[in-house]
Structure 1
Amino acid sequence: MAKLERWLFNLYQQRKMFWLYGPAGVGKSAVAQSFAELARDRKCLGAAHFFFAGDKKRSDPLRLVPSLAYQLAVLDEHYKQALTHLLANDPAVLYAALHLQFQKLIIDPFSLLASHSQQATEHPYLIIIDGLDECSDEQAQRMLVQLINDAAQRADLPLLWLVCSRPESHIKRTFSRPDSGIICDREELIIDDETREDVERYLRDSFREIYITYSDVIIVSQDGCWPPQDDFDLISYASSGLFVFASTSVRVVGDPNVGDPDTQLRLLSSILWGLDEAGIHSPLEALDIFYTRILSRVSDFHLPIVMHFLGFCSYSRPRSVQGIASLYPVEQGVFYSAMQKLHSVVKVPPPEDASKKFISFYHKSFEDYLQDPRRSGKYHPSWSKFITTAVTKGLPLYNHFLTCEFPDRVSPEQLAQSQSIVRRWSFAGEEMRVGIMVLRNIHRAADTASCFAAVREFNFSLMEDIDLTILACAIKHVCFLSDVCRFQVT
């Protein structure tokens, strides 16, 4: 934070862009949030955007620039007037390509102000973009870095840019390519004594909030502390400067679905005991064991249900509970019972929002853990089983949805059957399109015969804007099977 503060308040600022990077879980988002609050208190925060891979809207690159522009317009009247003038002449720019949005909504309004000798602010506004690597499009990630860099070179733009991300290879290459002309300060966020102190402070503040919330049921230890000092030291030591470890621990103890912090604290302590004896060589390795022990609490009866949902969350776009449940028919009560042990790592919408809100992971490190079989072991969701379910369950349901969309193309009996199923599940057709999207990988399915049968039964004539590239790839992989070659796309 100290280096960021010096950069922000440097009166002779030469570099208007700062890249803060580091591995998963070290607290980049926590730093971004704290820095945003500091800048807001100093009246120099222009806008902030936090990408999140678990949310379709928050991972969409085309929502970034309109969000930044809106926040700046609320803050600055001069910018608002310039932006309003430009939007009046070209309102469609809100739906334009990323580079056009950036030019029209960020560059042009400030350039217009500069041309009229109007300065938007005495001190540059800070723009924070956190989680760049969680933006859904790698090409958009690279483009954003270049667009921000170009903007940072302009004297007429009173903006400073803080970009936070993992050091993914394509992002590192973009920042490091000699021909890219990237000029910025940069800092790697590592786990050191300062980070450990920040995590310990976060734990104390979070446990204080839990105590205030549940003071009527919490039993204070003889030393007058809650949590007891030994338990706090254990959690702090296990976290070892890793914010994601600490935040997961806090969610375990303060789980509102349980409402018993003392019992949850004992549970957490039992999970953490033994990490030291397990030959742990790094905090990230400890995080893997932590995730494994959380998953191990799921009963054998519930595990298949849990793995089905974790697989869809890992390999598919964000989807609603209802949408995923329609592919793996399960009663609502059974689903919520199965997920009861995972509220510290999985964000589960309440039953009343099961058809509207997405199920997602709290942190991308959990998704990374699940997708790497070397790390998650038996809790690794099977890619081949996911494909099989997506095709064999998704295609028939999507067929029913399309039947309801085009009733004049089917018989009354087919329409009645489809309407009954669609009403029963209340699913969105776009969610069921997952069966189409994975066809290119049909050859990797666990049960190819069932997948081929589902493809043959699907009425492709109902699709008006089908992605022919996906179908072409799928057919290429399976055309060696003569019975598959019989189905026609009309």
Structure 2
Amino acid sequence: MLDHSRSGILWVSGLSRLLHPILDASHTRNRRTSPPNSSCLPGTRTEVIRKISCWATASLSDQPQHILWVFGYAGCGKSAIAQAAADLLAEARRLGASFFFFRGSGDRTRITRLAPTIASQIAATIPGTEQLIATALRTYPGLLEPTTSPLFQFKHLVYDPIRVAAWSSHRPHEGFKTFIIIIDGLDECEDKEEVAEFVWDLIAFFQQNPNTPLRFLVTSRVEEHLHRRLHNSEQVCLLNLVHQTSDKDIAAALDALIEDARRSRVFSTTNEWLSPENKQALVHHIGGSFIFLGTIMKFLFDQDCTDGLSPFERLPVALNMDPGFDSMYSEILGRSCHLPHFFPILNTVALSQQPLSIAVVADLVDISVVSVTSILVRLHSILQVPGDDFTPITLWHTSFRDFLCSERRSGSLFSSPSHHRRLAYQCISLTARSIHCRSSASVEYA
């Protein structure tokens, strides 16, 4: 007897190979190696998540807006909220697909593979779509070519399969529930013009097909090419995180991070070092920025720092940190920039086209792994430094790359484009040496 559940899995698996999706783009990715590494701390963002859940699960008659735009400044927790919403909706079997853009992460910075990646996920989550997607691939042989318009891909791989599957459902008594597609960090996609066209086309699709049981949750910073199209459309529900981040959220997150540090025995189990007055001052100083909160906590509990200070002794320094990211980055980098190999290591991490491991950075800079590690451990408050030599080093936030690549902002810490030439020469050297050797991760990058 044919096992239909197993045959269905094999069918979707075969379709996935054809679509060639980006495997580390969804909410199920390993966030340490495929950032953003964001999650809502216990007791935080509950009201925002409640609002998103109500919008997502409401009937189309009660909530006709198909698009929810969650927007705010860098570091206000957009990706953490998107991750929490994806986890919640996946548990409720309402999540169709998710895609997390992130600058400096190869294909996740471009729109080229967005539609195929979304399509591969909905084939597994939305009943009846997999055969319709396969039919579209047979009907349009060039559908997956890079030269094909992303709008054409979305129409035939995402919109039409969901729309047709909904209306041809053989379970009318059960209905066809509304599914949600989450796209996080849309502003981090480098293809600005194509993104603007995609948003315009998305709005037009829902205007023409208002009863399609599909919704999009989009998060981004406020950038002109997105604001112009999303801000005034009747199809778009707006959620401004500037108005949704309270001192209560920051205080709850602060408590959770301190408790985590206590359990990890980073400092004494007593909480006397942080008086109610100091805690209130810290919450006020953080000013609603979750990334600033995270950086301050890493600074306070930095075990690799050689200053010999306790969290209590570092607290006055933390309270004097400028919450603007540029000053914060300058403060952290300034403590280590005098060390040997600091700038070649920093520039290689900042300017690489994709996240690199410690071993690859060592090869590209032509120094030992130990030398690379000795620098990176001092920067763990702004870099995610892995516990081995082969897992990629990633940024806590893409604003760090922006800072290093702007001479006006970073001054003497500027990652000059001239480093690209040195990097290119080293890549050529590695490639030449590999002719008579086994391939490695460094050679593959070169």
- Please give the range of the TM-score, normalised by the shorter of the 2 chains: 0.7 to 0.9
What is the match of residue 427 of structure 1? Answer: 442
Distance in 1 (alpha carbons) for counterparts of 2:257 and 2:138: 47
TM-score (norm 1): 0.68
Question: For structure 1, which segment, 334-343 or 197-206, has the greater mean C-alpha deviation from structure 2 after superposition?
Answer: 197-206
**What amino acid sits opposite 2:55 in the alignment?**
W
Partner of 1:247: 294
Specify the alignment match of 1:21 in structure 2: 71
Residues 16-45 of structure 1, C-alpha deviations (whole Å, 9 max, x = no match) = 112222221122122222333443454423
Say which SS state the counterpart of residue 123 (structure 1) adopts: coil
The 5 Å alignment of 1:141-160 reads 141-153=195-207, 154-155=209-210, 157-160=212-215
* 1:191-225 alpha-carbon deviations (Å, 9 max, x no partner): 66x4332222222223333333x25x6422275xx
Bigger relative contact order, structure 1 or 2 (CA pairs below 8 A, ≥6 apart): 2
**TM-score normalized by the length of structure 2:** 0.74
Distance 1:38 1:88 in 2: 35
Equivalent in the alignment of 1:140: 194
* Equivalent-residue separation in structure 1 for 2:141 and 2:295 (angstroms): 43
CA separation in 1, counterparts of 2:310 and 2:111?
Answer: 39
Aligned length: 389
Describe how 1:30-429 pairs up with structure 2 within 5 A.
Answer: 30-87=80-137, 93-95=143-145, 97=148, 98-114=150-166, 116-118=168-170, 122-153=176-207, 154-155=209-210, 157-175=212-230, 183-190=235-242, 194-212=245-263, 214-215=264-265, 218-221=267-270, 223=272, 229=276, 232-252=279-299, 258=304, 265-266=311-312, 268-275=314-321, 283=323, 285=324, 287-298=325-336, 300-302=338-340, 305-321=341-357, 322-353=359-390, 357-381=391-415, 383=416, 386-387=417-418, 389-392=419-422, 394-395=424-425, 397-398=427-428, 401=431, 419=435, 427-428=442-443
Which runs of 5 or more structure 1 residues have no equivalent in the other structure?
404-416, 433-490
Pair 188,84 (structure 1): closer, same or farther in 2 beyond 3 Å: same
What's the offset of the Cα at 1:399?
Answer: 6.5
What do residues 454-482 of structure 1 show as CA deviations (whole Å, max 9, x unaligned)?
xxxxxxxxxxxxxxxxxxxxxxxxxxxxx
Secondary structure at the residue paired with 2:327?
Answer: helix
Q: Alpha carbons of 1:93 and 1:247: their partners in 2 closer, same or farther (altered >3 Å)?
A: farther
Aligned residue for 1:8, secondary structure, equals: helix
Q: Deviations over 1:356-412 (max 9, x none)?
A: x5433210222233334444333232x2xx32x3325524642763x6xxxxxxxxx
Segments of structure 2 that go 5 or more residues without pairing to the other structure are 1-47
Partner of 1:449: none
CA distance in 2, matches of 1:157, 1:349: 44
Residue pair 1:128, 1:163 contacting (<8 A) in 2 also:
yes
| RMSD of Structure 2 on Structure 1 (CA) | 3.6
- 1-side partners of 2:426 and 2:92: how far apart? 57
**Paired residue secondary structure (2:242):** coil
Q: Deviations over 1:265-315 (max 9, x none)?
A: 35752531434xxxx6xx4x2x3333222212215124xx33223334444
- For 1:62, what is the secondary structure of its paired residue? coil
> Secondary structure of the residue that 2:320 maps to in structure 1?
coil
Rounded to whole Å, the distance in 2 between the matches of 1:297 and 1:263 is 14
User: Is the CA contact (8 Å cut-off) linking 2:384 and 2:395 kept in structure 1?
Assistant: yes
Partner SS state of residue 427, structure 1: helix
CA contact (8 A) 1:191 1:241 kept: no
State the AA in 1 paired with 2:179.
Y
> What CA distance in whole angstroms lies between the structure 2 residues aligned with 1:393 and 1:254?
34
Change (3 A) 1:426 1:59: closer
1:8 has 2:60 as partner = no
Q: Name the CA distance, whole Å, in 2 between partners of 1:264 and 1:58.
A: 39
The more displaced of 145-154 and 2-11 is: 2-11
Where 2:124 maps in the other structure, the secondary structure is helix
Q: Which has the larger radius of gyration?
A: 1
Partners of 1:54 and 1:361 within 8 A in 2: no
SS in 1 for 2:68: strand
Tell me if structure 1 keeps the 8 A contact 2:247–2:288: yes
Q: Is the CA contact (8 Å cut-off) linking 2:361 and 2:372 kept in structure 1?
A: no
- Find the aligned partners of 2:54 and 2:64 in 1 and give their Cα distance: 12
